[in-house]
Structure 1
Amino acid sequence: MNYGEGMDGGRCNKKHIILVHGACHGAWCWHKVTAQLRSAGYQVMVPDLATSDVDERRFQDLRTFIHYSQPLLDRLTRLPAGERVILVGHNLGGLNIALAMDRFPEKIVAAVFVAALMPDSVNPPSYVVDKLKKETNMIFWSDTQFGLVGDKDKGTYAAHPSPSEDLALARTLMRPSSLLLEDLASMPVGEGGARKR
């Protein structure tokens, strides 16, 4: 491995990236990005969060946001001492990487929030979702369960304007999801918040 020096002098593998999918998706949604990054020499990990993709559990069986995030947290736990990664989160994955940043600050070089929810460090993690609900007035925010309905529309908006192959993949693999808002609201203020370092 080719290590550089981190900002604080620790070992930093600038070529190690963890991509975290958003709601209703799985690791599959990063397949093109993963291939491009690997061909450019990056080490890429793409965990499926709980109840996503190959994880057969249903989101209704999850009790906490930490359980939902556990596959990501497990990956970070298994990193060798001194190794640091770049986290990239999309959509709801922003909340997952913020939690990971809070739990493993010594293992994170940077975090990239791609069209993602980004909590702060002075409010409960649910604050950013509550604020978005008020600002967007979108019907699917009425409940903590959401997803795309009907086989005809499934993936149409999520993959637009992607090629038809990507739309077919999304229609096949997307699953209902939950924001686990009650659990996020009960988390301590600042936990899972993105802190400026």
Structure 2
Amino acid sequence: MFVLLGCFLDLRETQLTRGSENLRRMERHFVLVHGVMHGAWCWYKVATLLQSVGHKVTSLDMAASGIHPKQASEVNSYREYVEPLTQFMKALPSHESVILVGHSAGGGCISVAMEQFPEKVSVAVFVAALMPGPNITFAALTKEFIQQLGKAPSNERPDKKLSSTEAVTWHDLSGPYNQLSPPEDVMLSKLSMRPSPSFNDYELFDKQTTFTKENFGKVRRVYIMGDQDMLMKEDFQKWMIELHPPNEFKKIDGSDHFLMFSTPIQLFSCLQDISHKYY
């Protein structure tokens, strides 16, 4: 509570007061997508800040995440996992567009939405996120991420199929990679995280996450990196950026992997800038 109050106090100091008419005129629609084991709850600071200046915010739970009723064992494919987002995008009127924001593995989710609904996405924002595309499959990107973590046992068979949740454990996400986040948010994560579905059928995974140059190129992209991310290393993120250069790159100082916790005001400010430039 005190941390969030501090966010608002800082925000009041850095934002000019706007009248209600101006706020309505500047309204953008942000759709926020979490990473593995997290849920819509992880955006509580950024969502509140965005709403406080007049934006519309939709924060979604992927299947078996947050308060979604399914259990991880009931989600049999990536298509099922990302269905809350694809159904939301499908229901949007054809004349409406949104700003998609994906954190960590949520980058894969928003990439699927970009591919299926490019005309409904004003800009896609990857926040320390996986960024698959036409030049690398999502499955191959996930395997590369696991390898760079150094978590896969060296004596495993070359064809051993590992999921992202086999590489990053519940304990990992609730502590070591939150090194710059407030202790209240680390505790919130420990209390709120759920096991994530595993997608070990890479052939099916690739079929359900195919990205074409035609649709991928229609959507403008911005990549945001934290400068002290210990989970998704800088070299790995730069490698993804080289594979699929975004329209813009931003780096936030003093942030760990969970930018929405460690640097919520700076992330909010970046999203504000992006909305003005690309919406």
Name the TM-score, length of structure 1 as normaliser: 0.82
Paired residue type of 1:163: P
In structure 2, give the amino acid aligned to 1:129: T
User: CA offset at residue 155 of structure 1?
Assistant: 1.1
Rg (Cα) greater in structure: 2
> Which is richer in helix?
2
8 Å CA contact retained: 1:19, 1:30: yes
Look up the match of 2:126. 113
Higher RCO, 1 vs 2 (CA within 8 Å, ≥6 residues apart) = 1
**Whole-Å separation in 2 of the counterparts to 1:44 and 1:188:** 26
Partner of 2:181: 162
Considering only aligned residues, what root-mean-square deviation do their CA atoms show, in Å? 2.8
Residues 101, 192 of structure 1: 8 Å contact kept: no
Verify the 8 A CA contact 1:123 1:189 in the aligned structure 2. Answer: no
Q: Does 1:134 align with 2:134?
A: no
Question: Which of the numbers 90, 99, 120 marks the counterpart of 2:112?
Answer: 99
Equivalent residue in structure 1 for 2:196, among 158, 168, 177? 177
- The residue number in structure 2 matching 1:53 is 66
Query: Which stretch has the larger CA shift, 63-72 or 124-133?
Result: 124-133
Could you tell me whether the CA contact under 8 Å between 2:27 and 2:54 is conserved in 1?
no
Counterpart residue identity of residue 178, structure 1: P
Gaps of 5+ in 1: 4-12
On the 8 A contact 1:101/1:194 being kept in 2, the answer is: yes
Report how far residue 179 of structure 1 moved. Answer: 4.8
Partner of 1:195: 216
Whether contact under 8 Å (1:21, 1:89) holds in the other structure is: yes
User: What's the % identity of the aligned pairs?
Assistant: 32
1:181–1:14 Cα change, 3 Å: farther
Q: How has the CA–CA distance of structure 1 residues 188 and 129 changed in structure 2, closer, same or farther, with 3 Å as cutoff?
A: closer
Secondary structure of 2:206's aligned partner: helix
Cα 1:175–1:193 change in 2 (3 A) is: farther
* CA–CA distance in structure 2, aligned partners of residues 23 and 30 of structure 1: 14
Quote how far apart the aligned CAs of 1:181 are.
Answer: 4.1
Aligned residue for 2:101? 88
CA gap of 1:193–1:26, structure 2 versus 1, over 3 A, is farther
Asked if the contact 2:101/2:126 (under 8 Å) is kept, the reply is yes
Distance 1:189 1:39, change over 3 A: closer
